[in-house]
A and B are shown apart, each in its own frame.
Chain A
């Protein structure tokens, strides 16, 4: 059974500083997803990472994948208040997605 762990569970960020969320998964997976969820909303797709060494960037967010280490990271550059939300990673295995625990980000001035 695939297990997906995220850390930290909660991250209080200061505006302008850089932070990283880590996503570890227990079994070989060929796809890793990152989603954002605002309170009371559904999931918004951020990134899909398909191969070892894949790196994708959108604005202040950059995601990377190391399949050998079974690790994906979501790096936040110069945090701004708009990034406050819960972020989930999810790994694809056995024809389904398994989600991590989620990381709640809160950006403060």
Chain B
């Protein structure tokens, strides 16, 4: 299995500010994803983090609001920009290794915007 370290685990932020979430994997993985889970809801894919190039965003999510970096095969960041209370959610990093078909999740970042 892949061990994923996601930081911070939780944060309380002021509206209008930005927060960067980090995702570190203990081995090289092919694919990295960022999800949002709003309270009591399922997981919604924000984007696929592409190594060395711009992320691929899902409908309803834009780069200006959720800039993503992936400088190498084991690390990615998601920034939640210009936050509002509606951004209060759990943000989860996920990785896939195509060779074994498993999809693993980080511990999640619980974000509260006040």
Contact = CB atoms under 8 A, between A and B. Distances in A.
B33 A97 contact: yes
Helix, strand, loop or mixed for chain B's interface?
strand
B14 to A, nearest CB: 23
B45 to A, nearest CB: 6
B60 to A, nearest CB: 12
Interface size band for A: 20 to 34
Contacts of A63: none
B42 A101 contact: yes
Nearest to A48: B101
Contacts of B33: 96-97
Contact of B42 (A33, A41, A102): A102
B103 A99 contact: no
Given A42-B107, A96-B33, A48 B102 contact: yes
Given A42-B92, A42-B106, A99 B42 contact: yes
A62 B81 CA distance: 42
A43 B105 CA distance: 6
Interface in B86-114: 92, 94, 101-108, 110
Contacts of A45: 102-105
The 10 closest A-B pairs by CB, nearest first: A43-B105, A99-B43, A42-B108, A99-B42, A42-B105, A42-B107, A102-B42, A101-B42, A48-B101, A96-B45
Interface of A: 31, 33, 35, 40-43, 45, 48, 50, 88, 90, 92, 95-102
17 contacts: A31-B101, A33-B103, A35-B105, A42-B106, A42-B107, A43-B105, A45-B103, A48-B101, A88-B42, A88-B43, A95-B48, A96-B33, A96-B48, A97-B33, A97-B94, A97-B103, A100-B42
